[in-house]
Structure 1
Amino acid sequence: MIQTRIPAARLLLGLGVALCASSPALAQTDPASRLTELLEPLHTYSADFQQRVQGDDGQSLQDASGHMWLARPGKFRWEVNAPYSQTVVSDGAQVYMYDPDLEQVTVRDLDPKVTSTPALLLSGSAGELTSNYGVSMRAQGDTEIFSLSPRGNDSLFESLEMTFQGQRLTGLDLVDATGQRTEIGFDSIEQNGSVDDSRFAFQIPEGADVIREQ
């Protein structure tokens, strides 16, 4: 029998942010160029995260927490520790989604199009991101919030916000086509630190059911 529940780690795949008006300096900055300026120097990133999922009625559906790592291009690891364990790993070619409680691994090819894989918003190309999404920006002090809206119809979410404090990404807020909202806050952030490549290797556990998706 197939078991279902809200897959906290999958949300970055099925889906990888009102403040005061911008300062005069930011008002003169092209939002897409500014977002590219923040993302392009990002080679590695690791952080603890807190994730909340809300239904279209605003009711909380799930809270989750864990840690994530990424390395550009295309590699990331997303580990959910609570309320249950779940892991998503991309080695740059394939994505593995492992649920130890269900003893199940789902494997799919990595889709390089950020329109269909929001997890690649950070690990992918900033240039491709800004060509596929319209970008607007607002700011207060050293906090900058970028609102992204897909230009095409193949995106799995309706809107996305990315929040930066200084040069650091501190939050993601995305809404899918059903109106479900996922808010993710990051702390204990390390940008461009050393991340061992073994983080992005995944060995399928012996005895696990394997589902291969096209």
Structure 2
Amino acid sequence: MIKFLVRAVLSLVTSILIALSSMSFANASGVIQLKAFLEKVHSADGKFVQHYIKADSLRAFQAKDHAGQTPIVTASGSFQFSRPGGRFVWVYQKPYKQLLQCDGDKLYTWDEDLNQVTVRALGGELGASPASILFGSNNLRKNFSLREAGVKQSFDWLELIPKLKDTHFDRIRIGLKDGNLKEMELYDVFGNLTLLAFLDIRKNPILPDDIFKFAVPKGANVING
């Protein structure tokens, strides 16, 4: 179940992420804060916690505002990214180790337990995926319709609906506070929810290019797909 979840999220190159600029965002809407992020944050690193809630458990989870609730699947790790250009490193450290690394042209997924590397050419596939919001270009409205989604848990929320109907996600919600990215909710077409919370974010660090260059581990089985 856990590895199936991760592969589903990976297939959309999702998930990973950061804070906004050092501007003051008191009383600013979620859309304004996200636009500032796209304009001001060119690189970041930090940590994430990822929860997965199946559709049949989602209503009860939301009714209690997920306070004190234990999601079905929990994973955690760290990330680094440089944008625009789609370069990132996304590392799952728990409950098992897995690496996603993108140099802007190809996405490499390394499963340490299997010592297996999957290589996939992107060919512009970041398009309407959640990853495009954080790693892609600034042209967000080309791929998504945006709307304000109110205030919850003291965060300003906005909702993004993919304009293309052949994506795996039905909608994406982003929670921000004072110019900082706090949470990301990814609702897939089957009604399941992937919830990402972001911690210890460092904005605009200098990241060497070598960070995004993947080296195939010795003896690893390489699959091009």
- Relative to the length of structure 1, the TM-score reads 0.82
Query: Which structure 2 residues correspond to residues 10-159 of structure 1 after superposition, within 5 A?
Result: 11-14=9-12, 16=14, 26=28, 35-58=34-57, 60-73=71-84, 74-127=86-139, 129-137=140-148, 138-139=150-151, 143-159=155-171
| Contact 1:104–1:209 (CA under 8 A) maintained in structure 2 | yes
SS at match of 1:11: helix
- Aligned letter for 2:36? E
Q: Distance in 1 between matches of 2:189 and 2:42?
A: 30
Which residue does 1:5 correspond to in 2? Answer: 3
Deviation at 1:140, TM superposition (A): 6.5
- Aligned letter for 1:195? L
Which residue does 1:20 correspond to in 2? Answer: none
| Contact 1:115–1:150 (CA under 8 A) maintained in structure 2 | no
- What percentage of aligned pairs have identical amino acids? 29
- Aligned letter for 2:214? F
Deviation at 1:47, TM superposition (A): 1.1
Which residue does 1:209 correspond to in 2? Answer: 221
Match of 1:177 among 184, 189, 197: 189
| Contact 2:128–2:143 (CA under 8 A) maintained in structure 1 | no
- Relative to the length of structure 2, the TM-score reads 0.79
SS at match of 2:35: helix
Which residue does 2:21 correspond to in 1? Answer: none
Say if 2:186 is the partner of 1:187. Answer: no
SS at match of 1:126: coil
- Aligned letter for 2:192? Q
Q: How many residues align?
A: 199
User: Could you report, residue by residue, the CA deviation over 1:65-92 in whole angstroms, capped at 9, with x for unpaired residues?
Assistant: 1101110121000001000000000011
Q: Distance in 2 between matches of 1:131 and 1:116?
A: 9
Unaligned runs of 5+ in 2: 15-26, 59-70
Cα distance change of structure 1 residues 50 and 112 upon mapping to structure 2, 3 Å threshold: same
User: Could you report, residue by residue, the CA deviation over 1:129-166 in whole angstroms, capped at 9, with x for unpaired residues?
Assistant: 22211111224797321111112212220010112221
